Each structure stands twice: as C-alpha cells, then as structure tokens.
Amino acid sequence: EVQLVESGGGLIQPGGSLRLSCAASGFTVSNNYMSWVRQAPGKGLEWVSVIYSGGSTYYADSVKGRFTISRDNSKNTLYLQMNSLRAADTAVYYCARDLPVDYWGQGTLVTVSS
Amino acid sequence: DIQLTQSPSFLSASVGDRVTITCRASQGISSYLAWYQQKPGKAPKLLIYAASTLQSGVPSRFSGSGSGTEFTLTISSLQPEDFATYYCQQLNSYPFTFGPGTKVDIK
C-alpha cells in the first residue's frame, strides 16, 4: 500500500528555516516524480516544487531561491528545505506522488508568525 | 505562467442533479489537465487526468472533456459524497498551476 507521511511542520518566525520530510512506503521515491503542494488556510492549492526521477528540480516563482527539494534514496524520503520564510508561506504542505498526483500525504502545517 | 480560471466559483445543487464545472486556461495546454476533488480537512483526490481519462476507482458518473483552453468536469448524477471543492490543474508547463476551485454545496 502506498503511503506518504509528512513531518517537520510547526511555528516558525519570519526569516527562519524549516525542513519538511515525507517518508514514503509501498513504492520507491527515486522512481517517481515527487512534488510538494501547499494550501494556505481557507485558500486553494498551490504547486510548490517537483523533483523528477532523474533528479531535475523545478520550483514555483514564489519559492525559487528560498526552497530546495531533495530526496534520500536510502531512506525513501522526500524533503523540502525552506529558508527565509515569510508569513505568506503559512500553509498546509502536502507531499505528492507523480504528475498528476495520484497519492497525497496527510499534510503538515507550517505557520510563519512572530 | 499559465493562468486557470474556473466557473462557477460556487455551485448549489441537489442530489441527482447533473453538474458541470468549466476550467479555462490562459493559453493552450493540449490535454494536459487534471481534476481533483477535495473535502474539508482532507488531501485532494485525483478524479480525471489527460483531460478525459478517469482515474482508477473513480465512479463513472464523473467525466471530463476538452482540449486546448477550455475543459469541463461533469458529474452526471450528484451523490451526497460529491459535495466538495473541485480543482483543475494544468501540467503543460511550469509552474503547474491550479485553478481557484469550485465549491459544490447542497441546495
């Protein structure tokens, strides 16, 4: 059974850094496209980043230069390193498999506030 | 960036109604469009991909059509479990934008 379990969210001050993790089971992360999608409270979905099986990465303009997507093949885990966080980054962050997304994690809430 | 608009933003309907949601792209995206359903507090669920292909396990009352810049999601006979918010997403070019959503509520 495919499962995606995010962790690492929490309350962080503006300008701070946070790393989200997404532990995958039931499939191999490195063989699939893996994305992060976020949803601000009461708002719609926003695609954030993707890492392809070959390792290429792409980002939304809103996070480019501040966020880094990566994976650890030995741990079958996806990551999102988030630096220079802003209030506008406050959202539930979902880990997602493939494009279009066929499996989603449960989400982890990141709150950027002083 | 490709912008997606959805209409209507909000839809009030009854069980058994036929419901149609439209998604328009600011430029042509061929058939690189997916539809998702999201219920409150839950992750989205993939319904349709490649504009008209039904995801495995999704009831056949859901269907999608369109290509280029105009797409539709149709629910042939609305069921109680279908009350949710629906999003389209384009996968033609980066960033892979989502539409703003259409909330389907109970009349």
Q: What is the pLDDT of residue A74?
A: 96
Interval A2-51: pLDDT, tens: 999 999 999 999 999 999 999 999 999 999 999 999 999 999 999 999 99
Tokens of A96: 């997602």
d(CA A46, CA B89): 10
Q: Which residues of B touch A102 (CB under 8 A)?
A: 46, 55
Interface A-B: count of C-beta contacts within 8 A: 48
Q: Which residues of A touch B44 (CB under 8 A)?
A: 45, 94, 101, 104
B8 Cβ contact partners less than 8 Å away, ≥ 6 residues apart: B21, B102
Q: Give the residue from B92, B91, B78, B81 showing the smallest Cα distance to B21.
A: B78
**A20 vs A34: CA distance, rounded Å:** 14
Are A5 and A23 in contact, with CB atoms under 8 Å apart?
A: yes
For B24, counting Cβ atoms within 10 Å of its Cβ (0-12 exposed, 13-18 middle, 19+ buried), the class is middle
Which domain CATH number covers B38? Answer: 2.60.40.10
Q: pLDDT digit of tens for each residue in chain B (107 aa)?
A: 999 999 999 999 999 999 999 999 999 999 999 999 999 999 999 999 999 999 999 999 999 999 999 999 999 999 999 999 999 999 999 999 999 999 999 88
Q: Per the structure, how many domains does chain B have?
A: 1
* Domain housing B21: 4-106
Q: How far apart are CA B49 and CA A1, in angstroms?
A: 22
B101 near A CB under 8 A:
yes
Interchain proximity B44–A105, CB inside 8 Å: no
Cβ of residue B90 closer than 8 Å to a chain A Cβ: no
**How many Å lie between the alpha carbon of B104 and the closest alpha carbon of chain A?**
14
Interchain contact B36–A (C-beta under 8 A): yes
